[in-house]
Amino acid sequence: MDGKTDLQHMGRRARAASRALAKTSASVKNGALQGVANSLVERMDEILAANSQDIDAGRRDGLSDQLLGRLALDGNKLEGMAGDVRKVAELADPTEESFDETTLANGLEVAKRRVPLGVIGVIYESRPNVTIDISSLCLKSGNAVILRGGKEAIRSNGVLAQITRDAIAEAGIADDAVQFVESTDRALVGEMLGMTEFIDLIVPRGSAELVRRVGREAQMPAITGGIGVCHTFVDKTADVDMAVDIAFNAKTSSPYVCNALDTLIVHSGIASEFLPKVAGRLGDSGVELRCDRRARSIIGNSNGVTVASATDDDWGTEFLALTAAIKVVDSLDEALDHIELYGSGHTDVIVTEDDSSSQRFLNEVDSGVVLVNASSRFNDGGQLGLGAEVAISTNKMHARGPIGLKELTSYKWTVVGSGQVRN
């Protein structure tokens, strides 16, 4: 059977499984998730054996230590993954929710009821925990999923997907609700992106290059996002220590993720006090500072920190590294203009003690998550109370920001009458 036939068959089976899954009760789905969690621990040896094959292959292929670290599993990580699945089982089932309930003047009882989207296609790279994260969120929200993982983790992902299939089948859910593309043939990605009949939503998780390709080529709706050019603006009235803490946390707590700080914008009225302090903290942690002329002249005077000159390319760059661009502005308006021009609509922060500044920032910055006096790292489904997330969307259609269980659903209108007809 060639790759093409295979994917079409997978799609057809996923569609059938999704129809059954949409009618499956929350208790059956939660039982299946508990089974997945148990299997992650019980079948640990099997998973770790596959994972060490991936690691060996990665070493032979010259993967960086950072990538090998993301790929590697161990007992603790598997226990953690099992715990995350149990947390998903404990979340409310979004498909049991009705909302916007109302009774019209003519007596019609109108409501909306959440329903699964159908079949989710996920194209992801590297980290094998994504296989389990996404499968459990899709199952819980009543969606079937077709997973297409990266070459580096193919053996680990294959075993994790098989374990999931076994566990859900045991709980009475069709194992085709979770399917994994065993081939790493790149042409299959293109084919998935055209399978409008069988895939209702496609989610890319990985590099900016992957996300852009999916945005360009997908024939079905796609959640494109995850490219975060994140700004933190330190206003004239900011509490300097708070601003230093927030900028430091946003840049250094996890520099390789989409909600990390990229550009620090500083009001000229506070720059001479704030910049030396933040430069010291960031410099001590090995952050490279790429500064505009004014920021450089201020930081250059403080002792022991080396700074580079920012180039035009640094504005609007998602560094995904221990690098930050720094710019000094003379007004909130100038900061807003910079963010509108260079931002990616992902996450932007203002640090200020001035209510009118924070209100303007909240009103005028057109990003998925806009924060006042808090780290950009809070743009995360877990942190914002969704329990978990499959992605962070910068789209404006459907859902924006973290995509959790509710965002993996649509709704139907239900209308209950007693014989009403229309005039």
User: How many residues at the interface with a copy of itself, by CB under 8 A?
Assistant: 61
Question: Residue 378, interface with a copy of itself (CB under 8 A)?
Answer: yes
Question: Residue 281, interface with a copy of itself (CB under 8 A)?
Answer: no
| Identified binder of a copy of itself from the candidate list 25, 285, 311, 414, rule CB under 8 A | 414
Q: How far is the CB of 411 from a copy of itself (least distance, A)?
A: 6
Q: How far is the CB of 122 from a copy of itself (least distance, A)?
A: 16
Q: How far is the CB of 388 from a copy of itself (least distance, A)?
A: 16
By the 8 A CB rule, do 131 and 2 touch? no
One-letter amino acid at 242 equals M
- Residue among 97, 76, 56, 402 at smallest CA distance from 257: 402
Site string for a copy of itself, 381-400 (x = CB under 8 A): --xxx---------xxxx-x
> Which residues 118-177 are close enough to bind a copy of itself by CB under 8 A?
118
Question: Residue 108, interface with a copy of itself (CB under 8 A)?
Answer: yes
Q: How far is the CB of 82 from a copy of itself (least distance, A)?
A: 22
- In the complex with a copy of itself, the residue whose CB is nearer, 301 or 359, is 359
Site string for a copy of itself, 211-250 (x = CB under 8 A): ----------x-----------------x--x--xx-xxx
Which helix (H) or strand (E) segment holds residue 334: the answer is helix 332-342
| Identified binder of a copy of itself from the candidate list 33, 145, 379, 403, rule CB under 8 A | 379
Q: How far is the CB of 217 from a copy of itself (least distance, A)?
A: 11
One-letter amino acid at 339 equals I
Beta-ladder partners of 218: none
> Which residues 63-102 are close enough to bind a copy of itself by CB under 8 A?
102
Cα separation, 373 vs 348, in Å, equals 11
Beta-ladder partners of 113: 98, 412
- In the complex with a copy of itself, the residue whose CB is nearer, 304 or 385, is 385
Question: Residue 417, interface with a copy of itself (CB under 8 A)?
Answer: yes
Question: Residue 341, interface with a copy of itself (CB under 8 A)?
Answer: no
> Which residues 11-30 are close enough to bind a copy of itself by CB under 8 A?
22-23
What are the residues whose beta carbons fall under 8 Å from the beta carbon of 60, sequence distance 6 or more? none
Cα separation, 146 vs 79, in Å, equals 24
- In the complex with a copy of itself, the residue whose CB is nearer, 209 or 364, is 364
- Residue among 227, 223, 246, 243 at smallest CA distance from 319: 227
Question: Residue 377, interface with a copy of itself (CB under 8 A)?
Answer: yes
> What is the CB neighbour count within 10 angstroms for residue 253?
13
Tokens 């006090």, located at residue: 273
Angle of the 154-170 helix axis to the 26-42 helix axis, nearest 10: 130
Question: Residue 301, interface with a copy of itself (CB under 8 A)?
Answer: no
> What is the CB neighbour count within 10 angstroms for residue 204?
28
Which of helix, strand or coil describes residue 397? coil
Tokens found for residue 165 = 């299939």
Which alpha helices (DSSP H) does 207-299 contain, by range? 208-217, 240-252, 268-284, 293-299
Question: Residue 5, interface with a copy of itself (CB under 8 A)?
Answer: no
> Which residues 345-374 are close enough to bind a copy of itself by CB under 8 A?
358, 362-364, 366-374
Site string for a copy of itself, 176-215 (x = CB under 8 A): ------------------------xx--------------
- Residue among 125, 187, 120, 189 at smallest CA distance from 154: 125
Tokens found for residue 13 = 């089976």
Q: How far is the CB of 302 from a copy of itself (least distance, A)?
A: 23
Tokens 């009235």, located at residue: 237
Question: Residue 334, interface with a copy of itself (CB under 8 A)?
Answer: no
Which helix (H) or strand (E) segment holds residue 66: the answer is helix 65-71
What are the residues whose beta carbons fall under 8 Å from the beta carbon of 38, sequence distance 6 or more? 82, 167
Cα-to-chain-centroid distance, residue 122: 12
Question: Residue 411, interface with a copy of itself (CB under 8 A)?
Answer: yes
Q: How far is the CB of 259 from a copy of itself (least distance, A)?
A: 9
By the 8 A CB rule, do 89 and 145 touch? no
By the 8 A CB rule, do 29 and 140 touch? yes
Q: How far is the CB of 156 from a copy of itself (least distance, A)?
A: 28
Stretch that binds a copy of itself, among 75-83, 111-119, 147-155, 263-271 (CB under 8 A): 111-119
Which residues of this chain interact with a copy of itself, rule CB under 8 A? 22-23, 102, 104, 108, 110, 113, 115, 117-118, 200-201, 221, 239, 242, 245-246, 248-250, 253, 358, 362-364, 366-375, 377-379, 383-385, 395-398, 400-401, 410-423
